[in-house]
């Protein structure tokens, strides 16, 4: 199994990062081995009746990296390229993120290899419900709490909530986060990740002594994270010059109006053809001059091919794992880019998911303002702690962020001891 996982390029990348940090921390072999490998790798087959009457079998995965500090927490992804190794890597990163943010969770991740864009809502509902049924015995409010990720939304979470609650014979909102507000989802959860990315970008600008007002940004991806990052940055008075998604990339040096773009995407399905901007090659867009570059789509998009050509001051990693280790080395060597590493940059989502879970367990709710204020406090604390850690230990931001998370998990494992 170890070799199978290491064959996957995304897991290979996560494992390489882990090894580097474990060396840096001087982790002893006994703890290191336990921290590195996932606790549970669950694969389920999902037969679904398609609209044309065929039965198609999909494969779904859930990886629970460790349960030493509480239930696992992490998203559920619908994408054609989903593989067990990729899901295991994303689960591993969730561990360090939850520990870095001081949330009482281990890391988890799930995914189904499917193309939701080619499926009707009915097909997606049947697939989601079948997954919730098959995985039902392995999840629960104290075991594994899922949330949306690429290709899934609050609606998918509502179907999981309904299936799980029907199974249990009672309403269990705390089994899932990122659900609609009327089903006890949290105010502020939809925009939390993008809001956090934009907020942290302002903290990085402050550290560099650059003004927030008029700062320029380029964003890859205009889904949940990218669109709210664009909206919040625009709200702060920044100019988002370029935005891309699967439909193409658009450019306007004077800034793209976030709300008009959202309306255009709702109507046409993508950013391409937005009337107030010109088309640009999506790869070239990443290399344009800007203060903040925000990859908010998929993994491994900043590579050794483009890392040397980036012309941003800040790289705000909204997506998980957008930078390959080779690109990382180039960026570190250049020394002119302020990195906000993914485990911190996109932690707004899991932090507000945690707030949602806490509100559900208490049967109590906070307003959007309260939620976003609490989120900013937590992100600011983690950001400042990271700056202090990197200063003290003379290390880069990615190493510092991962080291903070891994160190906490390692200490917990050591203190709990090994059973039997």
- Which listed residue (193, 252, 351, 359) binds ligand NAD by CB under 6 A? 193
Report the residue closest to ligand NAD, judged by CB: 223
Q: How far is the CB of 121 from ligand NAD (least distance, A)?
A: 15
Least separation in angstroms between residue 146's CB and ligand NAD is 12
184 neighbors 173 (Cβ within 8 angstroms)? yes
Up-side HSE of residue 306: CA atoms within 13 Å toward CB?
20
Stretch that binds ligand NAD, among 18-26, 145-153, 179-187, 401-409 (CB under 6 A): 145-153
- For residue 238, count other CB atoms closer than 10 A to its CB: 25
φ/ψ (deg, to 5) at 290? -165, 165
- How far apart, in Å, do the first and last CA atoms of the chain sit? 23
Query: Cβ neighbours of residue 291 under 8 Å, at least 6 residues apart?
Result: 205, 210, 215, 216, 217, 238, 312, 313, 314
Interacting residue with ligand NAD among 107, 110, 188, 223 (CB under 6 A)? 223
Which of residues 50, 298, 387, 408 is near ligand NAD by CB under 6 A?
Answer: 298
Looking at the Cβ atoms of 38 and 116, the one nearer to ligand NAD is 116
Query: Annotated catalytic sites, by residue?
Result: 109
- Cα-Cα-Cα-Cα dihedral sign, residues 265, 379, 362, 164: positive
Q: Which is nearer to ligand NAD, 46 or 301 (CB)?
A: 301
Least Å distance, CB 225 to ligand NAD, is: 4
Binding letters toward ligand NAD, positions 244-273, x by CB under 6 A: xxx---------------------------
Cβ atoms within 10 Å of 67's Cβ, excluding its own: 17
Whole-angstrom Cα distance, residue 394 to residue 388? 10
Stretch that binds ligand NAD, among 2-10, 49-57, 314-322, 358-366 (CB under 6 A): 314-322
The footprint of ligand NAD on this chain (CB under 6 A) covers a number of residues equal to: 24
Closest CA to 94 of 122, 68, 74: 74
Residue 246 or 412: the one with the smaller Cβ distance to ligand NAD is 246
Residue 14 or 296: the one with the smaller Cβ distance to ligand NAD is: 296
| 191 belongs to the binding site for ligand NAD (CB under 6 A) | no
Cβ pair 401, 386 in contact under 8 A: yes
CB 351 within 8 A of CB 343: no
- 148 beta partners: 76
Choice between 62 and 413, CB closer to ligand NAD: 62
> What mask, x for binding ligand NAD by CB under 6 A, covers residues 328 to 367?
------------------x--x------------------
- State which residue, 22 or 386, has the beta carbon closest to ligand NAD: 386
User: Hey, what are 271's tokens?
Assistant: 């950013």
Region of residue 123 (left: phi > 0; alpha: psi -120 to 50; beta: else): alpha
The binder of ligand NAD chosen from 8, 86, 144, 149 (CB under 6 A):
149
Residues at the site binding ligand NAD, with contacts judged by CB under 6 A: 148-151, 193, 220-226, 244-246, 282, 296-298, 318-320, 346, 349
């Amino acid at each position: 199994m170890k070799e199978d996982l290491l064959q996957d390029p995304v897991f290979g990348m996560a494992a390489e990062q882990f090894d580097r940090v474990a060396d840096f921390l001087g982790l002893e072999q006994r703890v290191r081995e336990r921290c590195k490998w996932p606790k549970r790798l669950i694969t389920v087959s999902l037969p679904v009746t398609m609209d044309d009457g065929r039965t198609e079998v999909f494969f779904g995965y859930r990886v629970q990296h460790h349960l030493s500090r509480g239930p696992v927490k992490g998203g559920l992804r619908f994408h054609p390229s989903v593989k067990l190794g990729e899901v295991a890597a994303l689960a591993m990163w969730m561990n360090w993120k939850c520990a870095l943010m001081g949330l009482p969770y281990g890391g988890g991740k799930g995914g189904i290899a499917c193309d939701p864009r080619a499926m009707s809502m009915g097909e997606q509902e049947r697939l989601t419900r079948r997954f919730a049924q098959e995985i039902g015995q392995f999840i629960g409010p104290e075991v594994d709490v899922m949330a949306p990720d690429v290709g899934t939304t609050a609606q998918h979470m509502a179907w999981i909530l309904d299936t799980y609650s029907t199974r249990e014979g009672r309403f269990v909102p705390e089994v899932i986060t990122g659900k609609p507000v009327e089903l006890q989802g949290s105010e502020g959860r939809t925009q939390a990740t993008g809001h956090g990315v934009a907020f942290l970008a302002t903290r990085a600008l402050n550290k560099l002594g650059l003004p927030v007002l008029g700062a320029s940004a380029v964003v890859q991806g205009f889904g949940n994270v990218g669109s709210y990052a664009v909206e919040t940055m625009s709200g702060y008075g920044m100019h988002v010059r370029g935005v891309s998604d699967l439909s193409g990339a658009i450019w306007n040096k004077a800034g793209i109006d976030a709300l008009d773009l959202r309306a255009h995407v709702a109507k046409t399905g993508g950013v391409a053809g937005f009337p107030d901007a010109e088309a640009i090659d999506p790869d070239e867009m990443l290399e344009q001059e800007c203060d903040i570059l925000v990859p908010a789509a998929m993994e491994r998009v900043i590579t050794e091919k483009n890392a040397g050509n980036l012309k941003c001051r800040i790289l705000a990693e909204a997506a998980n794992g957008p930078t390959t280790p080779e690109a990382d080395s180039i960026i570190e060597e250049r020394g002119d880019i302020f990195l906000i590493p993914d485990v911190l940059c996109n932690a707004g989502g899991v932090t507000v998911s945690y707030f949602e879970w806490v509100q559900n367990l208490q049967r109590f709710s906070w307003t959007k303002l309260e939620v976003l204020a609490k989120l900013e406090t937590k992100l600011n604390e983690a950001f400042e702690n990271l700056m202090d850690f990197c200063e003290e230990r003379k290390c880069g931001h990615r190493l510092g962020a991962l080291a903070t998370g891994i160190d906490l998990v390692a200490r917990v494992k050591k203190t709990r001891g090994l059973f039997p």
